[in-house]
Amino acid sequence: MESSSSKITDEIRAEASRLLSSGEVAAFLGFVPGSLPMTVRPFVARSSEDAARLVWNSFCVMNLANYLPEVLKSVEPPRGPGDPEPEGPLPRVGVLATGCWSRNMVVQIQENRIQRDRVVILGISSRGMVDRKKVLARLGGREALKVEEQDHSLLVSGRAFNEEIPRWEVVRDNCRSCVHPDPVIWDIMIGERAGDRQNANRFAQVEEIESLAPEERWAWFQEEISSCIRCYACRNACPLCYCPTCFVDDSRPQWVGKSIEPVDTAIFHILRAYHCAGRCTDCGACESACPMGIRMRLFTKKLEKDVLEMYGAEAGMDPETPLPLSTFSPDDPQDFIVTGQESPKSTGDEAGRSGEVSQS
């Protein structure tokens, strides 16, 4: 039986080829197989021959929205900084989008990174992508030479072994907790829309950490990031991280040191996650890109939970609703505000105390 991924691959090739040969789009952003099993790489098809190379499978873990602004720029006629806008509409780009990627595209529209009318979105309802690291862990050092995908299992084979792995068990954490697998914006739907997924508790991973004591949480945080080599692959994989100069590269002030000293690494992770607050769609590209298996998604997931609980908002669900941190409500919760009412009453002692310490 043909797997649903290979059916989707056929449809993608047909649509991309049609769009490219009719001139509707100047380029089409998708994936081609990578050089190792269970990898794909982003690919820009510019002709229908290129389109025949596109694939869809359970290993499409990178978020295509990340590459979209550059591909759009690449199809524009070259112009210098002072040159006038070219006449007429600019060429368009076709792109694949699952639920989370399409929400990142919505964020990009809201942040003026892309224009809706310049993209042709082929929507795909995601069945969840597989975490290559989970598969490798199950193989325990044996090398997978070939991985064949079926709808509910992966057939992994290598030198002198064949193994069938139930697919859902190795699906990425973010996909397992996903509730919006369908694209929120699209032009052409590939396959059926699945509808919102029932998920008993999408924040279970976060709640588990929240239930720890403060010192245990700190220990968890330190442990989680301890192997970070500060390669910034997580940042580079993220469609939200497009600052011309990232804070990690600022030198005056130097927000974060260049070393892998634990404090610097901690600050990097806190601020990177924080910069994605109210914008992150939990696409998991950051985590999939990490060579060290760090689960930095948990930090953004915590922010996602807070934004939903405090402001009732989810990133990228609707281009018409402003991003949660670009707006406010007069009744936003503020129970954390310090009022001084818990302050010990002023006594004569206070004056004595301030007199006794001389600060340099």
Residue 287, interface with another protein (CB under 8 A)? Answer: no
Residue 282's closest CA among 261, 260, 304? Answer: 304
The only residue of 299, 314, 315, 316 in contact with another protein, by rule CB under 8 A: 299
User: What is the contact mask toward another protein in residues 264 to 283, using x (rule: CB under 8 A)?
Assistant: x-xx--xx-xxx-xx-----
Pair 203, 305: CB distance under 8 Å: yes
Residues sharing a CB contact under 8 Å with residue 357, sequence separation 6 or more, in sequence order: none
Task: Choose the contact partner of 96 out of another protein, ligand SF4, none; CB within 5 to 8 A by kind.
Answer: none
Residue 223, interface with another protein (CB under 8 A)? Answer: no
CB of 177 to ligand SF4, least distance (A): 11
Q: Which residues make up the interface to ligand SF4 (CB under 6 A)?
A: 63, 104, 228-235, 237-238, 240-241, 243, 246-247, 272, 275-276, 280-286, 289-292, 294, 296-297, 300
User: What dihedral angle (degrees, nearest 10) is formed by the CA atoms of 68, 74, 76, 79?
Assistant: 130
Q: Which residue's CB is nearer to ligand SF4, number 212 or number 243?
A: 243
Pair 94, 55: CB distance under 8 Å: no
Task: Choose the contact partner of 334 out of ligand SF4, another protein, none; CB within 5 to 8 A by kind.
Answer: another protein
Q: Residue 2 in 3-state DSSP?
A: coil
Task: Choose the contact partner of 220 out of another protein, ligand SF4, none; CB within 5 to 8 A by kind.
Answer: another protein
Pair 203, 173: CB distance under 8 Å: no
Residue 52's closest CA among 27, 24, 15, 22? Answer: 15
Residue 220, interface with another protein (CB under 8 A)? Answer: yes
Pair 196, 128: CB distance under 8 Å: no
Q: Which residue's CB is nearer to ligand SF4, number 167 or number 275?
A: 275
C-alpha distances in angstroms, 256 versus 21, 237, 246, 247?
49, 20, 11, 8
Q: Residue 129 in 3-state DSSP?
A: coil
Q: Which residue's CB is nearer to another protein, number 185 or number 266?
A: 266
Task: Choose the contact partner of 217 out of ligand SF4, another protein, none; CB within 5 to 8 A by kind.
Answer: another protein
Residue 90, interface with another protein (CB under 8 A)? Answer: no
Largest CA distance in the chain: 85
Q: What is the DSSP string of 89-124?
A: PPP-EEEEE-HHHHHHHHHHHHTTSS-GGGEEEEEE
Number of residues lying near another protein (CB under 8 A)? 59
- CB-count exposure of residue 237 (10 Å: 0-12, 13-18, 19+): buried
Contact stretch for another protein (CB under 8 A) within 56-64, 70-78, 142-150, 209-217: 209-217
Q: Which residue's CB is nearer to another protein, number 85 or number 335?
A: 335
Q: Which residue's CB is nearer to ligand SF4, number 167 or number 235?
A: 235
List of residues contacting another protein (CB under 8 A) = 206, 209-210, 214-221, 247, 253, 255, 257, 261, 263-264, 266-267, 270-271, 273-275, 277-278, 299, 302-303, 306-307, 310-311, 324-326, 328, 330, 332-334, 336-344, 346, 350-351, 353-354, 356-357, 359
